[in-house]
Amino acid sequence: MGSRSDAVLISPALAGRLFHFVMIKPTHYDDDGYPIQWFRSAIPSNTLACLNGLAEDARRRNVLGPDVEIRLHTYDETNRRVQPDLIVREIRKAGGKALIGLVGVQSNQFPRAVDLARPFLAAGLPVCIGGFHISGCIAMLPEMPQDMREAQALGISFFAGEAEDGRFDAVLRDAWDGKLAPLYDHMDKLPNLQGQPPPILPRKHVRRTSGSLSSMDLGRGCPYQCSFCTIINVQGRKSRFRSPDDLEKIVRENYGQNIRRFFITDDNFARNRDWEPLFDRLIELRAGDCPKIGFTIQVDTLCHKIPNFIEKAAQAGVRRVFIGLENINPDNLIAAKKRQNKITDYRRMLQKWREHGAITCAGYIIGFPGDSKASILRDIEIIKRELPLDILELFFLTPLPGSEDHKVLWQKGVSMDPDMNKYDLNHRVAHHPKMSDAEWEDAYRAAWEAFYAPEHIRTILRRAAACRLGRPKTTLTTLLWFKLVSAYEGVHPLEGGAFRRKYRRDRRDGLPRETPALFYPRYLWESAVKMWRYWSVYRQCKSILDEVLAAPNRWTYTDLAVAPPREDEFEALDLYHATAGGEAALARMHRDDAIRKSAHAAIWQAPATSRAS
């Protein structure tokens, strides 16, 4: 390791007092082997912001000694081209030592991260990879998987766990001393987040995204046990959170740069034990000198049962919610250990968010063991008819490294696709017990098309336009994003962006470099065709919106999904009768209601003295 660092001591004048920490958030490859990159990506990376916040703090505290200058460089590969050779050249020009950090590397980004690492290693620069692939594999598997072993053999160092609480300082010091360890394993202890340096990114990153949106994590950990989830095995099941003061600091720093909208990346903000003081602080800020702040949060399907949660979320500026709905068949939910999701609560929960002016986006998994192509398409129609949902995000059921599902398949030796690049939830990486591979893939694509069909877009817009706090124009923008990216970009909408970049020379290792005569005309043609399709769909949807806004019955429009719960609701809806396990879920609800009622009656029938005791 020592000799690697020595190789960059190019400028003797600066040697010994300059240290570069280069943070790169890698992307992954599309099906043709080109990195997925955009002129504008959707949201700045929170992991990059967290690492940058920690590095800024280390720099302020002079962790490498008072005479060493630490320079920070941040790259988000989803919205800019990363050329290792250029970075090496810049470091050599400036002189000093360096550490290349590949940050927040998910499983699907691991092959790209290793490809990026190679030229740095060849130039003698040490590389460290952190993120969910490393942490998930170390947390769940009895031994390192092949891809990690190969990367380690190249000389790449790994960081497993979270970098707060002084752990990052140790990595910097080791890199400075030229003795980076092969593995930093912090999986045994989860740091407290209170008072830790908050996530912050240089403004240039926000400019490369939609422009006024940033992200932050206010808490980590979730108490539930879903078998497809990696989060609980990496960030734990105990709620850890930042303080309201930390939150205010993040909001103010961003607000000063005209950034007013935030994606709070907590996987389940409803289970952040401190949600209320955090919302209260936001309510204060909105009433004070940050009136225009708005938020997107992620929650579970029971959040509406927490007293005041949705009410305070609305007052705090929550305008969009991602909800882990996952499925409408209770049998599937039980199989995935997602017992907390009760289909009998879905309608009430979604209606409540709607009444409070939030756009609802639900995650939905395709390919549970009980699914068939026909049942998947039936379910999508039930959702369209009976649930007041604005956006449906579909995912292949995927054994993500770090999840219980992955561990079980690994232990049983069940075949899974060895190419980690495909673990983006938009590719099938395993086989289904009932559907053929082709049927499963067809069902996934058909589900996207069915939900985003023009007629259903009209229905969603009519629902938004009839709602007092509805935002039909913003709803349409979000719908268009999901429809266009899923239909024309060949990537998941959560990985989408504005205008796809492709570089001929940046192709996945092992794939041939295309000739300019082939590459450029095709890139131009593809871009032109996409522009035309985008324009056509936009025009079609815009005319639907205009028609909906001008409709004489705009404000009186109603349908099964948005109408208030009816007396015979549980008898009449397909949600409870056509789904697998729906009737059993209904029976459980009736039984629980009866128990609650009799317990309540027993309390009130008891003599006052025993009640008091």
Q: Which residues contribute to the site for ligand B12 (CB under 6 A)? A: 27, 42-43, 45-47, 50-51, 78, 101, 103-104, 106-108, 128, 130-133, 135-136, 159, 162-164, 168, 171, 215, 217, 230-231, 235, 263, 265, 267, 400-402, 424-426, 492, 494-495
State yes or no: residue 50 binds ligand SF4 (CB under 6 A).
Answer: no
- Partner interacting with residue 215 (select from ligand SF4, ligand B12, none; CB below 5-8 Å by kind): ligand B12
Query: How many residues comprise the chain?
Result: 613
Closest residue to ligand B12 using C-beta atoms: 130
When the beta carbons of 95 and 324 are compared against ligand SF4, the nearer one is 324
The pair of three-digit structure tokens given for residue 24, joined into one six-digit string: 């790169």
Beta strands in 357-422, from DSSP E residues, in sequence order: 359-366, 391-396
DSSP string, 469-484: T--HHHHHHHHHHHHH
When the beta carbons of 344 and 421 are compared against ligand B12, the nearer one is 421
Residues 189-218 that bind ligand SF4 (CB under 6 A): none
Helix, coil or strand: residue 316: helix
CB-based contact 315:336 (threshold 8 Å): no
Q: Minimum distance between the CB of residue 282 and ligand SF4, rounded to whole angstroms? A: 22
Q: Minimum distance between the CB of residue 492 and ligand B12, rounded to whole angstroms? A: 4
The pair of three-digit structure tokens given for residue 168, joined into one six-digit string: 């990052």
Residues 95-154 that bind ligand SF4 (CB under 6 A): none
Residues 312-331 that bind ligand SF4 (CB under 6 A): 324
Question: Does an H or E element contain 232, and which?
Answer: helix 231-234
- The region of 65-73, 229-237, 416-424, 437-445 touching ligand SF4 under the rule CB under 6 A is 229-237
* Nearest CA among 462, 459, 454 for reference residue 552: 462
Conformational region of residue 593, where left means phi above 0, alpha means psi within -120 to 50, and beta covers everything else: alpha
User: Around Cβ 403, how many Cβ atoms within 10 Å?
Assistant: 23
Please report, for residues 323, 593, 595, 596, 597, the alpha-carbon distance to residue 606 in angstroms, rounded to integers and kept in the order given: 41, 20, 16, 16, 14
The pair of three-digit structure tokens given for residue 177, joined into one six-digit string: 């001393």
- Partner interacting with residue 222 (select from ligand B12, ligand SF4, none; CB below 5-8 Å by kind): ligand SF4
Residues 367-406 that bind ligand SF4 (CB under 6 A): none
Q: Minimum distance between the CB of residue 235 and ligand SF4, rounded to whole angstroms? A: 9
Q: What's the distance, Cα to Cα, between the start and end of the chain in Å?
A: 69
Q: Given candidates 229, 383, 394, 585, which one binds ligand SF4 under the rule CB under 6 A?
A: 229
State yes or no: residue 44 binds ligand SF4 (CB under 6 A).
Answer: no
CB-based contact 479:420 (threshold 8 Å): no
Percentages (nearest 5) of helix, strand, coil residues in the chain? 50, 15, 40
Q: Torsion angle of alpha carbons 23, 255, 38, 114, nearest 10°?
A: 20
- Partner interacting with residue 5 (select from ligand B12, ligand SF4, none; CB below 5-8 Å by kind): none
Q: Minimum distance between the CB of residue 599 and ligand SF4, rounded to whole angstroms? A: 28
When the beta carbons of 324 and 470 are compared against ligand SF4, the nearer one is 324
70 DSSP β-pair partners:
19
The pair of three-digit structure tokens given for residue 581, joined into one six-digit string: 């396990």
When the beta carbons of 23 and 232 are compared against ligand SF4, the nearer one is 232
- Partner interacting with residue 400 (select from ligand B12, ligand SF4, none; CB below 5-8 Å by kind): ligand B12
CB-based contact 151:102 (threshold 8 Å): no
State yes or no: residue 295 binds ligand SF4 (CB under 6 A).
Answer: no
Identify residue 193 by its one-letter amino acid code. Answer: L
CB-based contact 538:338 (threshold 8 Å): no
- Partner interacting with residue 327 (select from ligand B12, ligand SF4, none; CB below 5-8 Å by kind): none
The pair of three-digit structure tokens given for residue 494, joined into one six-digit string: 């959560």
When the beta carbons of 267 and 371 are compared against ligand B12, the nearer one is 267
Integer-rounded Cα radius of gyration of the chain: 26
Q: Minimum distance between the CB of residue 130 and ligand B12, rounded to whole angstroms? A: 2
Q: How many residues bind ligand SF4 (CB under 6 A)?
A: 10
- Partner interacting with residue 324 (select from ligand B12, ligand SF4, none; CB below 5-8 Å by kind): ligand SF4
Q: Minimum distance between the CB of residue 550 and ligand B12, rounded to whole angstroms? A: 35
- Partner interacting with residue 491 (select from ligand B12, ligand SF4, none; CB below 5-8 Å by kind): none
Q: Given candidates 132, 158, 224, 395, which one binds ligand SF4 under the rule CB under 6 A?
A: 224
Residues 235-274 that bind ligand SF4 (CB under 6 A): 267-268
- The region of 16-24, 51-59, 75-83, 220-228 touching ligand SF4 under the rule CB under 6 A is 220-228
75 DSSP β-pair partners:
24
When the beta carbons of 268 and 478 are compared against ligand SF4, the nearer one is 268
- Provide the pairing of β-strand 219-220 with 240-241: antiparallel
Instruction: Enumerate binding residues for ligand SF4 (CB under 6 A).
Output: 222, 224, 226, 229, 231-232, 267-268, 300, 324
